[in-house]
Amino acid sequence: MNEEQINKIRTLALESTNANERDNARRILERLNQPLHDPKKSKPVRFNMTFGDKHEKKLLIQIIFSVCPAAEVAEYNKGRKFEVECPAPEAEQIKLLWRVYKRELKALLVRSVTAFIHANRIFPPPKEEEEEEEKPSKYDRDELLALSKLASAIDPTRVPRALLTS
């Protein structure tokens, strides 16, 4: 089995919406990884991981050390890259988890900011002269419900009255 096929199976194991497909992919990976996880046969590899901000950096550190606690990590390029050394199977798992979790973190941050705006009712005043057409939401029903729950969990920020009257 070549590396491309293994990567497709790993992606299915983490991202598939079909439970049976996910379970089958995980079983295949377990069978494939058994000989790969032999520490005597697995040579360490060095690879680079790039992150964008402090949230991504924290997430990447968590992923690296949850997969391979003995990994060696060096930060460089003005704090935007890590050079990681760990066994090859763990390196592949780190890369795959990073791709999945990074995308989800970005989506969550966008939803969090939207929920914060709604919780604090930070909106422009309504236009009186023009009747505004109802614009379709960029969120589907389930996403709107999730945003509503998230917004309801946020305590509105208390702004001192002195700041409002200035």
Q: What is the pLDDT of residues 16-25, one digit of tens each?
A: 888 888 888 8
- pLDDT at site 46: 92
Low-confidence residues of the chain: pLDDT under 70: 1-2, 33-42, 129-137, 162-166
Token couple for 37 = 């996880």
Return the pLDDT at 22: 83
Q: What SS3 class is residue 49?
A: strand
Looking up tokens 């409002």, which residue turns up? 164
Both structure tokens of 24: 């089958």
State the Cα–Cα distance between residues 143 and 109, nearest whole angstrom.
14
DSSP, collapsed to helix, strand or coil, labels residue 84 as strand
pLDDT at 62: 93
The whole-number pLDDT of residue 3 equals 74
Predicted local distance difference test score (pLDDT) of residue 131: 58
pTM: 0.59
Q: How far apart are CA 82 and CA 48, in angstroms?
A: 6
pLDDT at residue number 65: 92
d(CA 24, CA 8): 13
Long-range contacts of 119-125 (CB under 8 A, 24+ apart): 119/151, 119/152, 119/154, 119/155, 119/156, 120/154, 120/156, 120/157, 121/156
**pLDDT of the residue at 41:** 58
Dihedral, CA of residue 71, residue 76, residue 79 and residue 84, to nearest 10: -20
Give the span between the Cα atoms of 112 and 130, in whole angstroms.
Answer: 31
Which residue matches tokens 């946020």?
154
What is the predicted pLDDT for the residue at 36?
A: 44
pLDDT at 37: 46
Per-residue pLDDT, 34: 55
pLDDT score recorded for residue 152:
85
Residue 50 burial (10 A CB sphere; 0-12, 13-18, 19+) = exposed
Closest CA to 79 of 104, 60, 99, 98: 60
